[in-house]
Amino acid sequence: MLLTFVKDTFGTALPTAVKKPFDVAEAIENKISGLVAAGAFVPLIAMIFTSAGGDDSALYGDAGPWP
């Protein structure tokens, strides 16, 4: 996160060759934070849908028999 701050703060004064490694580090940081957020969010949503789901027969009652 510190690298991103430095890049954003001094980005206009730094040459492109110096900014590119910071861009790569920022992209990796974004990917990691996305994985962490998904790891916290997906189980929570799965738990909510599982507990609210109950009996699915009402969903398929009018559909008739499965082929």
pLDDT in tens, 34-49: 999 888 888 888 888 8
50 secondary structure, DSSP code: H
Residue 66 has pLDDT above 90, yes or no: no
* Residue-level pLDDT at 36: 92
- For residues 7-32, give the mean pLDDT: 82
User: What's phi and psi for 27, nearest 5 deg?
Assistant: -65, -40
Decide: helix, strand or coil at residue 14: coil
Residues 6+ apart with CB under 8 A from 19: 7, 11
- CA-based nearest residue to 19, from 27, 7, 30: 7
Residue 23 has pLDDT above 80, yes or no: yes
The CA distance from 63 to 54, in Å, is 18
